[in-house]
Amino acid sequence: MPPWIERVVQRVAPLAGWDDLKLSDEALATMKRILADMQERIDDSRSQNGSKNKGKPRSGVVAIFNGPPGTAKITAAEVLAKELKMNLFRIDLSLVVSPTLEETERIMKRIIDGAEDAGGVLFFDQAELLFERDENGADVDKGIGYLVKRAGRYDDLAVIGVPDKDQMDLVHLRKLHNVVDFAN
């Protein structure tokens, strides 16, 4: 990855295990499904002798980790990265969001494109900064649609951390089947 990305992207050592998580049965089942989906993709990739499907659209696994700060979302991402034997990269979206949507999307594209070479689990922290409400209460999309779309083409696992998924536009949320709800 280019050196400037090091300010935005933090490599996290995936040390946490399943015992470090306090999840509901439903959340745990979703985590196990995400893990199984990724392991299946890895197995499929290996059966093709490690060659990428050139010319075919990528279809990565995208998950939403929903819960307020302090609910172990990054720990859960660590567990998945450790189980998958992958790197974990935490992207601090507070350093990515720009006054213009075009600039925000350009930076996210460069980060994800750079991550394609390194591989691993991408954890987009503070994704709520990509959507907000204007003074009239209307939703303003500041890049969440782009992030969901581009993350879906990322080869590995992309996790989008939000404190309240109900802030997301339903159009974007409907595209995602892997939503893990964290409680305090």
* 30-44, 61-75, 94-108, 167-181: range with lowest mean pLDDT: 167-181
pLDDT in tens, 23-35: 999 999 999 999 9
Confidence of residue 138 (pLDDT cuts 50, 70, 90): very low
Domain positions in the chain are: 23-49+59-181
- The pLDDT of residue 131 is 67
- Which CATH code is given to the segment(s) 23-49+59-181? 3.40.50.300
Query: Are 104 and 91 in contact, with CB atoms under 8 Å apart?
Result: no
φ and ψ at residue 168, rounded to 5 degrees: -75, 145
What pLDDT, on the 0 to 100 scale, is given for residue 55? 38
N- to C-terminal Cα separation, the chain: 35
CA dihedral for 149, 63, 177, 143, sign (positive or negative): negative
Buried b (16+ CB within 10 A) or exposed e, 93-128: beebbeeebeebbebbebbbeebeeeebbbbbbbbb
| Amino acid identity at 105 | E
